[in-house]
Amino acid sequence: MDPHDPAGSIADMADRCRNWGRWGEDDVLGTLNFIDDAKRLEAARLVQTGRTFSLAQPFNMDGPQRGWRRRTNPVHTMLDTGTDAEYGNQGFPHGLGGADDIIAMPLQCSTQWDGLGHIFDRGKAWNGRRAGQVVTSDGDHFTGIETTVDQFVSRGVLLDVGRALAEDLGCDEPELPDGFAITFEHIEATMERQGITASVGRGDILLIRTGQYGRSLREGWGTYAGGPAPGLSFTTAPWLHEREVAAVATDTWGFEVRPNEFESAFQPLHQVVIPNMGLFIGEMWNLEGLAAHCAAESRYEFLLTAAPLPITGAVGSPLNPIALL
C-alpha cells in the first residue's frame, strides 16, 4: 500500500481480493457461502460445557453514538406502563394490566452486522451490481439482510489480540492502544500464542478483540464512535481472503484501525472487503466476558449463533450474538 495513494492502493487490493461471480451472478451471500451444514455440525460439536456468552452491548441512550450521519443511540419509549396498570386507568377487564414499548434506532447504533449493501466501491456493490440499483430509498433490493436470516451459525474463533500483545506493547491492561494497526503478523502471533483452538479456516466467524470496548467501559465512551481506535490494518485483506472466513467482528466502532493508514482516507478496508470480497463485518461487539473466560480456559473456539433481525431491505442489523461453549 502507498500511504499517499489510497485510490490506487484500494483499486489494487480490490482486484486481488475480489470474489465477484465466484458463487454465480445472482449470489447475495458472499463469504457466507463458506458455511455449510457440515461446518455447522462441526461447530455444534465444539460445545463442551453449555456455558453461554452474549456478545451484545446494551441498547440504550447511554451508548456511544454522537449523531454522526444521524446515527443516534436507540430511543426506547413506553406505550403502556405498570404505573398506569396499577393506577387502574388502562381499561382492561378482570385485573389485567399491560406494558408495551417501541424503539427508534439506526441499525448501526450498537452491536451489528454490516450487510453487503452497506458499502460501495466506485459505484459498485457486491458481485458487481450498480449501487443505484441495489440500494434505493426503499432499501436493498438484492442483498437485504433478510437474505441471511438463517446463515450466521458457525464455528466462532476468538483472537484476543489485545491480551496477546499487551505485554510486548507495555500496556497495563489487556488492550491495544488507539490507532494501533493489527497486521497479519499480529494475527498470526496471537493464533500461535493461543494455540490449536485458535486456528482460523474456511467458514469460521472470526472475532477480534482489541480491548477498546473494555477500556470504554472503564473510562467512558469518549470518541469510541468514529474516533481513534485500534483495528485491522488495510494490509490484512489478503489474509482474510485466503483464510476464507465467513465473517469478521470486532469490539470497535469501525473494524479497521483509525485513523486509517493512508494520509487521507475513510474506511478503505471496508471498501475492499464488503463490496469486493463479499465479507460480512460485525462491529461494536462486546467480547469482554467471553475473552476472560477463553483466557482462563485456554480455549478459543465455540458455536456462534449470530442471527440478524430479518428487516426487509436493511443494509445491516442489530443483533445479540450468542457464543455457546
What string marks each residue from 111 to 140 as x (binds a copy of itself by CB under 8 A) or -?
Answer: ------xxxxxxx-x----xxxxxxxxxxx
Instruction: Report the distance separating Cα 5 and Cα 289, nearest Å.
Output: 40
Does 177 bind a copy of itself (CB under 8 A)? Our answer is no
Instruction: Report the distance separating Cα 25 and Cα 211, nearest Å.
Output: 39
Taking the least distance from each CB to a copy of itself, the nearer of 40 and 193 is 40
Read off the amino acid at residue 196.
I
Taking the least distance from each CB to a copy of itself, the nearer of 81 and 199 is 81
Which three cell numbers mark 17? 481480493
Does 6 bind a copy of itself (CB under 8 A)? Our answer is yes
Q: Smallest gap, in angstroms, from Cβ of residue 243 to a copy of itself?
A: 21
Q: Smallest gap, in angstroms, from Cβ of residue 288 to a copy of itself?
A: 13
Read off the amino acid at residue 259.
P
Q: Smallest gap, in angstroms, from Cβ of residue 165 to a copy of itself?
A: 28
Read off the amino acid at residue 257.
V
Instruction: Report the distance separating Cα 76 and Cα 9, nearest Å.
Output: 43
Residue with cell 454490516: 114
Contacts of 22 (CB under 8 A, 6+ apart): 33, 278
Please report, as residue ranges, which positions from 233 to 292 form the binding site for a copy of itself (by CB under 8 A). 264-268, 270-271
Does 199 bind a copy of itself (CB under 8 A)? Our answer is no
Taking the least distance from each CB to a copy of itself, the nearer of 56 and 166 is 56
Does 3 bind a copy of itself (CB under 8 A)? Our answer is no
Q: 24, 67, 170, 220: which one contacts a copy of itself (CB under 8 A)?
A: 67
Whether 135 contacts 28, CB under 8 Å: no
Instruction: Report the distance separating Cα 309 and Cα 321, nearest Å.
Output: 11
Q: 99, 169, 196, 217: which one contacts a copy of itself (CB under 8 A)?
A: 99
